[in-house]
Amino acid sequence: MLNIYMVVGLVLGCWACDETREVDAPDAFGVTVKNATVKAGEAVDFDFAGNPDYIVFFSGEKGQKYENRNRTKIVANAVTMNFRSVVRYGKTVPTLRIFVSTDFNGTYDMENIQSEGANWIDITEEFTIPLTSASSWTNTTPSGNFNLQKHIDTNKNFYIAYQFLQNGSEGSAYRTWQIPEFNIDIDSDSDGLINVCTIQSAGWVGVIAPGSNPSADYKPKKVTDGLIELKGGTAGTAKTEIWMISKKIDASSVDSDRGQSISNYSYELPAFRYYYELPGTYTATFVGTNANIHESKQAVRSVQITVE
């Protein structure tokens, strides 16, 4: 069965076909390889026999494995979080905290965020964050990798939160934090590290506590220019509390692997060339399909490639 995106393309493409044509199974479809062992970066040349209407290629590399074409869930050996942060301006005080929860109910207001049932676990000390003002916004500090399984059951959905908290009136403005990079990765036996969440896909929602007085230009409810910004109040501000919370993250959910379409009904493809950049053993799989708008029939052919 092809990836859903391929099926859509296949059906749409077949409108140009003869819809009354009987669909034969592409049994004559064959694949041979001229050079099954190559050096990294060298060309691998495949020859085809038969002429199916469509050919889709799965290279066997990460994200392009035929056996994972329908996979949407995965068992993780570890679920790691990392980010980069930078702090500038204002007064040097520890204003940033980081939390994780499997119990937050997804209602983004202070009543539900601060409820006992949310069970936020403070994981700030698990990361490296800057303690002094940086010379520029690009001078970011890597947090290091932390396995969230130390504190939570990652078979459950969870939320990540950054909290900015300043208490008491001070004689200078408070520091401004930026987090331009954020990742949740899972480590699996079959594919190694797989990224499941980034700064852009985490669905951040910002909430300002009632009575807070952050800087007038601060807009916490979106990620601006691909980063999170947490900005304190001006000099003399009594209190500012801001939360930036992710969407619900499912660390067992992954995208299905996808192949690439290399031939369609409009032309015949007698041969195909591909380059593997990394050493390893790969199963290259070709799916040949004959189809009209009513039905399709497939033949799957695989060859093993060794890259030294």
pTM: 0.77
**How many Cα neighbours within 13 Å face the side chain of 96?**
25
Share of the chain above pLDDT 90, in %: 56
Let me know: does 30 contact 301? Beta carbons within 8 Å: yes
Predicted confidence at residue 16, as pLDDT, reads 44
Let me know: does 245 contact 208? Beta carbons within 8 Å: no
Of 243, 142, 246, nearest in space to 200 by CA: 246
Element (H, E) at 10: helix 4-13
Element (H, E) at 110: helix 110-113
Rounded CA separation 156/296 (Å): 39
Question: What does the chain come to in residues?
Answer: 308
Rounded CA separation 120/160 (Å): 9
The two structure tokens encoding residue 209 = 């506590």
Predicted confidence at residue 128, as pLDDT, reads 96
Predicted confidence at residue 141, as pLDDT, reads 96
Predicted confidence at residue 88, as pLDDT, reads 87
Predicted confidence at residue 202, as pLDDT, reads 93
Predicted confidence at residue 170, as pLDDT, reads 59
Give the model confidence (pLDDT) of 50-93 as tens digits: 989 999 999 999 999 999 999 988 888 899 999 999 998 876 66
Give the model confidence (pLDDT) of 226-254 as tens digits: 788 888 766 666 678 899 999 999 988 88
Predicted confidence at residue 299, as pLDDT, reads 95
Task: Point out the residues of the chain with pLDDT beneath 50.
Answer: 1-17, 221
